[in-house]
Amino acid sequence: MKINDNYSRLEKSYLFSEIARRTAGKDVLRLGIGDVTLPLAPVVISAMQHAATEFRGYGEEQGYKFLRDAVVDYYAPKGVGLENSEVFISDGAKSDLGNILDIFSCDATVLIPNPVYPVYVDTNIMAGRKIVYAKWGAPDPEVRADIIYICSPNNPTGEVYNKDELSAWVEYAIANNAVILFDAAYEAFVRDPELPTSIYQIPNAKKCAIEFCSLSKTAGFTGVRCGWTIVPHETGLNELWLRRQTTKFNGVSYIVQRGAQAALSPQGVVQNRANIDHYMGNAKIIMDALDELGIEYKGGKNAPYIWLKCPDNMTSWQYFDHLLNKHQIVGTPGAGFGSAGEGHFRLSAFAKREDIVMAMGRLREYSILR
Ligand code: MLT
């Protein structure tokens, strides 16, 4: 058989699988993968329990209308008007961030921030696309690209673009006749009301941007699986994506979509807000400890990740081994998010509160992160 040779250009394993492998069976404090630790909101549980008693056959590939309408309503207070035909219900942002590439040519040049969520790089390597890397900040007018990834709030650094900065990217995309793939998975963690939580809050973004969002972190759906992808008609890509989805996807289960609808209801938003506040409380505990220890970091204020500089010029994997072996703490090495992440390390605020308190206690006890 002839296999896809591009796979030979990938790292041997996916970042979070590698970390899971290295820490399997160990009694450790897990501040690595951004996996939620609080249960689903009560309103979501009862909606799913009820839905389980209702019989359904195949649903609409694009998602049930009741949930697409709920997504439209979720965007309205952001000042974003959507049509429900622009909303596609997914099984989470990760899948669609990869799947969307089906509708773009493999000859396209892709611009990817560095450091960033590794799915963007890996899925484009699989397709053999040319990748150019960009630092966080303003677009470089000298660099040409057809597909532009933006993750804001950024995973892993926790940085968030303001409206002017995002406007510059929208203008750049339009000038390049490019599409922006905007990953908004962490939008619910933005605290500063001046910061945008959707790219469609930026003028003209509906002409050039596809937005991916997820209930994984917002509503504790990492194991339940539901999110959405917005493909505005103005991009000219909506029908293509619909064609792709109706062929390759049979939709998210009815039970899960009823749970997602409940998560987006006014009561669901209030209940989920309490969980988000709890995680941001975890972020504060981490930041307080780092402040006390004089460790440089970013993030944590409008995002659930804290991005710190490894002490003693350690590489990020050296620091990973050090924290794991000496303090039984698991984090995520910055190099796993791209070359620009080398020398940095990510801590996740999604960990259990008691684990975070204990981990920060251990670091304080040794007075520095050593
Ligand atoms: C992360 O830790 O970066 C995320 O949990 C990964 C993901 O959402 O797939």
Q: Are 321 and 332 contacting, i.e. CB atoms less than 8 angstroms apart?
A: no
The enclosing domain of 17 has a CATH number of 3.90.1150.10
Q: What's the gap in Å between 134 CA and the centre of ligand 1?
A: 21
CA distance 246 to 243: 5
Task: Looking at the structure, tell me whether residues 225 and 184 fall in a common domain.
Answer: yes
CA nearest ligand 1 atom 1, residue: 34
Give the pairing of strands 179-183 and 147-151.
parallel
- Closest C-alpha to ligand 1, atom 9: 94
Q: What's the gap in Å between 59 CA and the centre of ligand 1?
A: 28
Q: Which residues pair with 134 in a beta bridge?
A: 113
End-to-end CA separation in angstroms for the chain: 50
Query: Is 240 in the same domain as 91?
Result: yes
Q: Which residues contact 142 (CB under 8 A, 6 or more apart)?
A: none
Q: 53 with 194, same domain?
A: yes
Q: Alpha-carbon distance 258 to 12, whole Å?
A: 38
Name the residue with the closest Cα to ligand 1, atom 5.
34
Predicted model pTM? 0.96
- Please provide the DSSP assignment of 165-190 as one string: HHHHHHHHHHHTT-EEEEE-TTGGG-
| Proportion of the chain in helix, strand, coil states, percent, rounded to 5 | 45, 15, 40
Ligand 1 pocket residue status of 238, Cβ below 6 Å: no
Residue 33 Cβ contacting ligand 1 at under 6 Å: yes
Ligand 1 atom nearest residue 214's Cα: 8
Cα separation, 296 vs 359, whole angstroms? 18
Q: Are residues 256 and 211 in the same domain?
A: yes
The C-alpha angle with vertex 120 and arms to 31 and 206, in degrees rounded to 5, equals 110
Give me the number of domains the chain comprises: 2
Range of the domain at 235: 42-265
Question: Which of 37, 116, 155, when mutated, tests ligand 1's pocket best, judged by the most ligand atoms within 8 Å of its CB?
Answer: 155
CA-CA distances (angstroms) from residue 93 to 216, 270, 282, 291, 322?
Answer: 9, 22, 24, 33, 32
What is the whole-number distance in angstroms between the Cα of residue 55 and the centre of ligand 1? 33
For every one of its 370 residues, what pLDDT tens digit does the chain have, with 9 covering 90 and above? 999 999 999 988 899 999 999 999 999 999 999 999 999 999 999 999 999 999 999 999 999 999 999 999 999 999 999 999 999 999 999 999 999 999 999 999 999 999 999 999 999 999 999 999 999 999 999 999 999 999 999 999 999 999 999 999 999 999 999 999 999 999 999 999 999 999 999 999 999 999 999 999 999 999 999 999 999 999 999 999 999 999 999 999 999 999 999 999 999 999 999 999 999 999 999 999 999 988 999 999 999 999 999 988 999 999 999 999 999 999 999 999 999 999 999 999 999 999 999 999 998 887 654 4
Same domain, 346 and 328: yes
Please tell me the distance between residue 137's alpha carbon and the centre of ligand 1 in angstroms.
Answer: 22
- Whether 155 lines ligand 1, by a CB cut-off of 6 Å, is yes
Give yes or no for residue 225 CB within 6 A of ligand 1: no
Domain boundary among the residues 230, 265, 300 is at 265
Give yes or no: residues 149 and 18 share one domain. no
CA of 35 to the centre of ligand 1 (A): 7
Query: 164 and 224: one domain?
Result: yes
Same domain, 184 and 314: no
| Shortest-distance atom of ligand 1 to CA 185 | 8
Instruction: Indicate the residue among 247, 265, 283 that finishes a domain.
Output: 265
Q: Which atom of ligand 1 is nearest to the CA of 222?
A: 8
Peptide bond into 153 cis (omega under 30): yes
How far, in Å, CA of 104 to CA of 204, rounded?
Answer: 21
Are residues 275 and 351 located together in one domain of the fold?
A: yes
Q: What distance lies between CA 54 and its chain's CA centroid?
A: 32
Domain end marker among 244, 265, 286: 265
Domain shared by 47 and 12, yes or no: no
Q: The domain spanning residue 114 has which CATH number?
A: 3.40.640.10
